[in-house]
Amino acid sequence: MRLIVLALCLLPHSLQAQTPAPAIPRFADESATAGLTGFYAGEWQYMVGGGVAVFDCNADGFEDMLIAGGENPAMFYRNVSQQGGPLQFRQETAGLEADAVTGAYPLDIDADGLTDLALLRVGENRLMRGLGNCRFAPANADWGFDGGDDWSTAFAATWEKGASWPTLAFGSYIDRTQEAFPWGSCTPNQLYRGGDGRFAAPLALTPGHCALSMLFTDWNRSGQPALRVSNDREYYKGGQEQLWQLDPGAAPVLMTEADGWKRLRLWGMGIASHDVTGDGYPDYYLTSMADNKLQTLESTTAPVRPGYADTAFARGVTAHRPYTGGDLRPSTGWHAQFGDVNNDGLFDLFVAKGNVANMPDFALLDPNNLLLQQADGTFQEVGEAAGVDSMAIARGGQLADFNMDGLLDIVVVNRWQTAQLWRNISEDAGGFAAFRLQQPGPNRDAIGAWVSVRRGDTVTRHEVTVGGGHVSGQLGWVHFGLGTSTAAEVRVEWPGGRVDDWQPLLADTFQILAPGQAPVAFIAP
């Protein structure tokens, strides 16, 4: 009883009010019929990783995907679904079929309007230039990119102020040459700054603590993103979570307790970001082994300092052990992502779960979590009721509207088992609006922008990023649920400081947003 009272005391008064339960979404498992056959294979060097990249490489609005294979070649799938219909993918040769791929992230590196890809590998990382119509070619030599020879397990990208090319961060795991005693052998992460069509030699981010997720994020709304790194304490010695401050042209600086940073140690595996509290600042969900965190700034009073409080228990997102299946040992969380799966205007949380292999102290039957945000700010577990409570050994994943029906679907990459795909078939979901950001010059997809949707007095904000999750990236539609609203307004805070006026939008539409222009409807072919 004391624990229950404590949990209620931790909640703000507004979160304690009794509110109606959210509509539970319904998902149909279309793994066997959608055409996906890829899975993540391999032993020790592939115990982590196993991601999926989601992107539109032929400009038809439908998002295609690349599934990391580990010891298998990576597999590309073109989306051939019909709008509103069952999910259908066709495997094709795209030039991305490399071996030893742990994960992938899409972004337009050279600002030519074609999506490129960063392939994370056990060995040399590769940048792949988009050629159009879902074809890609290696670009390391042309772009002066030194792919190294690490065991890469994390990635993030941003455009620093005044930069013509992106800044890329690659996170590495342990020194794989020290199999007999790997603990404490975490290798440094690498930061690449680009310009004039090429990347400079990498800067080592030392110390490295075995990164499994990275995210460039404007944590204090200064307009200059910092690099957040989540690290796996299974292999580091004396390490912790990290936040690197980046100033253009200067060496990265690791923030410490003197800056307000609070020491945090966990089996860090994935990062998901969203303004859960509505205070205008991003919150961060960190997956781990039985110790998932939801970090919220303790104070937003200027000057904002990077001190975070853990609100996972108060909001009901600890997700620390299985909720079904009978295995009560601690859970192992990997990819995490916020998204509004029932379109009620509140971003929900998906977490892919799975034992590392056969670790006896952790659950072997470990279902994925689908946590619905409720009107009072707490979350309700509905994975079993929604039909996504798979017991496969999950790793990476994505929430994406693959058939452009306004409902977010789910793809999950599994270790040693075929990837799974669930179509959202909810009949009682609310309205939606989905946006693609386009701006001239470098950073065409406006990475680092903030998109806000206003419905009456309610404002929902989301930061556009490349990174986070667990070795799984997405470059596509930014999805908002609208609930019962038939109309709403949208505003974009663009990288560089431009803030557009609020623009009216219509419900149930896909729209292209550009600086200073009214939304333009996108019609799927």
How high is the pLDDT of residue 14?
Answer: 37
Instruction: At 490, list the tokens.
Output: 């949208």
CB 157 within 8 A of CB 495: no
pLDDT digits (tens, 9 = 90+) for 134-161: 999 999 999 999 999 999 999 999 999 9
Strands 431-437 and 509-513: parallel
Distance CA 510, CA 61 (A): 9
Site of tokens 């990476």: 396
171: three-class secondary structure by DSSP? strand
- Say how many C-beta atoms besides its own lie within 10 A of residue 59's C-beta: 12
How high is the pLDDT of residue 9?
Answer: 36
pLDDT digits (tens, 9 = 90+) for 75-86: 999 999 999 999
- Say how many C-beta atoms besides its own lie within 10 A of residue 416's C-beta: 15
Reported as a pLDDT band with limits 50, 70 and 90, residue 3 is very low
The residue that leads in pLDDT, 4 or 34, is: 34
Residue 54 has pLDDT above 50, yes or no: yes
Instruction: Give me the chain's average pLDDT, please.
Output: 94
Strand partners, 460: 453
Reported as a pLDDT band with limits 50, 70 and 90, residue 1 is very low
Alpha carbon separation from 310 to 160, 296, 307, 317 (Å, rounded)? 29, 7, 10, 11
How high is the pLDDT of residue 83?
Answer: 97
Reported as a pLDDT band with limits 50, 70 and 90, residue 12 is very low
Site of tokens 């990236």: 473
Phi, psi of 6 (to 5 degrees): -60, -45
Site of tokens 């090319």: 165
pLDDT digits (tens, 9 = 90+) for 250-306: 999 999 999 999 999 999 999 999 999 999 999 999 999 999 999 999 999 999 999
Distance CA 6, CA 314 (A): 9
Give Dmax over CA atoms of the chain in angstroms.
Answer: 64
22-39 mean pLDDT = 95
How high is the pLDDT of residue 20?
Answer: 65
pLDDT digits (tens, 9 = 90+) for 319-340: 999 999 999 999 999 999 999 9
52-64 mean pLDDT = 97
